[in-house]
Amino acid sequence: MMVVGGVIGSGIFRKPGVMALQIGSPEILLGVWLLAGVIIVTLDPHATALGEKIGARIVTEGARDGHTGSVNAGRRLLAGEGRGGMITMPGDIPAIRACEIDAVLSAHLAAPSFTISPAHDDLGSNAVVCSPPESVPLRFGDNSYFPHLDAARLQGIEPTVIRQPGIAVDIDHPVDLALFLRLPQSAGTRTRKLLEELGVPALLAGRGIA
Span 128-145, pLDDT tens digits: 999 999 999 999 988 999
In the chain, % of residues over pLDDT 70: 83
What is the structure's pLDDT at 34? 57
State the SS3 of the chain. Answer: CEEEEECCCCCCCCCHHHHHHHHCCHHHHHHHHHCCCCEEECCCHHHHHHHHHCCCEEECCCCCCHHHHHHHHHHHHHHHCCCCEEEEECCCCCCCCHHHHHHHHHHCCCCCEEEEEECCCCCCEEEEEEECCCCCCCCCCCCCHHHHHHHHHHCCCCCEECCCHHHHCCCCCHHHHHHHHHCHHHCCCHHHHHHHHCCHHHHHHHCCCC
Per-residue model confidence as pLDDT tens digits over 81-138: 888 899 998 888 889 888 888 899 889 999 999 999 999 999 999 999 999 999 999 9
For the cut 80, the answer to whether the pLDDT of residue 52 exceeds it is yes
Taking residues 32-50, what's their average pLDDT? Answer: 78
Count of residues making up the chain: 210
What is the structure's pLDDT at 23? 44
> Which region among 6-10, 23-27, 165-169 has the lowest average model confidence (pLDDT)?
6-10
What is the structure's pLDDT at 26? 43
Per-residue model confidence as pLDDT tens digits over 145-158: 999 999 999 999 99
User: For the chain, what is the mean pLDDT?
Assistant: 83
How would residue 179 be classed by pLDDT, with cut points 50, 70 and 90? very high
For the cut 50, the answer to whether the pLDDT of residue 21 exceeds it is no
Phi/psi for 173 (5° steps) reads -140, 165
What is the structure's pLDDT at 41? 87
pTM for the full model? 0.83
Per-residue model confidence as pLDDT tens digits over 2-17: 444 433 333 333 334 4
What is the structure's pLDDT at 44? 87
For the cut 70, the answer to whether the pLDDT of residue 171 exceeds it is yes
What is the structure's pLDDT at 102? 85
What is the structure's pLDDT at 68? 92
